Amino acid sequence: MKVVYSDTHKDHDPQLFMVRGKLKRSNEQPERAFRLLEAVQREGHEIVATRDFGAGPRAAIHTPEYLRFLANAYARWQLLDDPSEEVMPNIHPFPGQPCTYPDSVVGQAGFHMGDNACSIGARTWEAAIASANMATHAAQLVLDGERAAYALCRPPGHHAYADRANGFCYLNNVAIAAQHLRGVHDRVAILDIDVHHGNGTQGIFYRRADVLTISLHGDPRNFTPFFIGHAHERGEGEGLGYNINKPLALGTDIDGYLPALRDACDSIRAYAPGALVVALGLDAHERDPYKGMKIQTAGFAVLLAEIARLGLPTVLVQEGGYLSDDLGPNIASALRGFESAA
């Protein structure tokens, strides 16, 4: 399988991440991508250098105000009196209340950053652009005839909304890939198997029928993102029925996960899309630091084989999966499983 990769991500190494009121280094570290890259190289997959697709693909998903903010926030932040090294919000709009877009970078940070897990450093914007280009390039490879392609994206993207960063994510790579595929296909499906709900992806396509979004994830009643990702969220307007959430109990293993995945695949078959984008989170693994589920390394081969049996042109976009000795073996298992059934 062709693997699209850029090392531009390496200088994006966020140090500010608030967990239960404590600041620590982010779990979303450059070493993640290096371990994934090493594993796919060891497996013999072809590494393809990322092509620059320009501003169009990200502008098709994200608002102009948000893109301007991401491009300029760090430089503007450093002009403040006694700023932190990275941009991190300290105030947010109140839900349901009138909201005026602020002039101040401090106010804009609160408007455009959904939590304290997506701080912006000196090279975050460049890394996010490269990551979006990886997803777009993988989608283009599939449009050009590849059965599947893997975008080794970092930073990840599925928590990013059209106008808001969230949960380590800045540009929504999965949404960007799906929109690129829509240039050829009337209908595209997104299947998210990250342990966390793809809330940004849901938000982007919630009122659209041309992109089916399905997410399997830890039950948000007691797992981030908490406020969204529940089973009753089915879409709105033209999109009603085209958003499917399958919350799973924390600690779910392969025996509990596989029936939900098969049901999701049946929904994709009924939708009959021209192509599929998979938000490939590896953080459902039993030893991932987030400890949400108990999928073993061999289980990723089983899950990806099930997805491959859909027989669709498929873009695999890297999402979660955090530092452990199992990260490399997990991606190797996943790609082997997909190719065994493709």
Q: Is 81 helix (H, G, I), strand (E, B) or coil?
A: coil
Secondary structure class of 176 (helix, strand, coil): helix
Please state, in angstroms and rounded to a whole number, the distance separating the CA atoms of residues 204 and 182. Answer: 14
Count helices and strands in the chain by DSSP H and E runs: 10, 10
| Range list of β-strands (E), 106-192 | 148-151, 188-192
Rounded Cα distance between 177 and 191, Å, is: 12
Residues with Cβ within 8 Å of 231's Cβ and at least 6 positions away in sequence, in order, are: 245, 246, 247
159 counts as catalytic:
yes
Q: Are 127 and 145 in contact (CB under 8 A)?
A: no
Catalytic residue among 159, 197, 217, 285: 159
Helix (H, G, I), strand (E, B), or coil: what is residue 65? Answer: helix
Paired sense of beta strands 148-151 and 314-318, if any: parallel
The contacts of residue 40 (CB under 8 Å, 6+ apart) are 3, 47, 150, 152, 331, 332, 335
Element (H, E) at 37: helix 30-42
List b or e across 301-321, with b for residues whose CB sees 16 or more CB atoms inside 10 angstroms: bbbbbbbbebebbbbbbbbbb
Cα-Cα-Cα-Cα dihedral sign, residues 14, 20, 23, 27: negative
Q: What are the backbone angles phi and psi of residue 260, rounded to the nearest 5°?
A: -65, -40
Active site residues: 159
